[in-house]
Structure formats: C-alpha cells, structure tokens
C-alpha cells in the first residue's frame, strides 16, 4: 500500500494525538475520524426522544396559534378604531384629547370656588 506524508501544525498534531487510541496508528485515527464525520448529520442530531420531540412540535404549534390569534385581535382593533374615525379623520382617542383642549394643560389653575378634599383652598395664592 502506498503512503503519503502530510504536514500538520503542531497544535493539530497534539489534538490528533489526544484523540488517538493506544491500539491505533495515526492513519487509523484519521480514517476513524473521517468515518465518524461522514453520513447524514441529522441522524442522531439532538437528544430528544420521540415523545419529547412530539411534545415540542405541539408546543410550537400552540405558540404559533396564540401568536396568530393575538395578531388577528390587534388587527381587528385597529380596523375598528379606523372605522370609528370622525369626518376629519381623527381617531376616537384623538377626539377625546381635543375635547380637553380648553382645559388647563398643566392642571395648575383653579377657580376661586375650587377647594381640596379637606375644605381648604386650592393651593393657590390667597
């Protein structure tokens, strides 16, 4: 059988030597490592049993279902809100904010007859 000489870096040689079994040559080691790396990588991928895998599939499907329901709910709410817009195109929430436009924006001013719960003045100057 013909042989070939190959060069490997020192760290690669050390890694190979660490994996080499006492009863095998470097050729046998390389052959074994190649055999182990061939084949369908999906075979043996993961460590779930069939029952665990099925449970995971069901959980993922349920999660997708909840996500879809949530998206439908949000979309329906947005469509309803747009449908309720007034003639100026203002949404119901925007119209409520505009109704308060004549109110004091800071809420600091008080009328002369405003009193607090304790019956005192509104906290303004005397």
Sign of CA dihedral 11, 15, 20, 25: negative
- List the domain boundaries for the chain: 10-37+50-93
Neighbours of 20 (CB within 10 A): 16
Summarised one tens digit per residue, pLDDT across range 102-117 is 555 555 555 555 555 5
Task: In whole angstroms, give the CA distance from residue 72 to residue 76.
Answer: 6
Summarised one tens digit per residue, pLDDT across range 43-93 is 666 777 888 888 999 999 999 988 888 888 999 998 888 888 776 777 766
Q: What is the end-to-end Cα distance of the chain in Å, rounded?
A: 111
- pLDDT class of 16 with cuts at 50, 70, 90: very high
């Amino acid at each position: 059988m013909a042989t070939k000489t190959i060069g490997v870096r020192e760290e690669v040689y050390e890694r190979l030597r660490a994996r080499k079994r006492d009863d095998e040559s470097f050729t046998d080691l390389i052959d074994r490592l190649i055999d182990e790396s061939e084949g369908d990588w999906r075979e043996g991928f993961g460590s779930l049993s069939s029952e665990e895998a099925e449970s995971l599939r069901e959980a993922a499907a349920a999660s997708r279902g909840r996500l879809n329901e949530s998206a439908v709910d949000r979309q329906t709410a947005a469509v309803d809100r747009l449908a309720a817009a007034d003639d100026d195109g203002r949404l119901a929430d925007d119209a409520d904010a505009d109704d308060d436009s004549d109110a004091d924006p800071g809420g600091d001013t008080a009328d002369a007859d405003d009193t607090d719960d304790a019956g005192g003045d509104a906290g303004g100057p005397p």
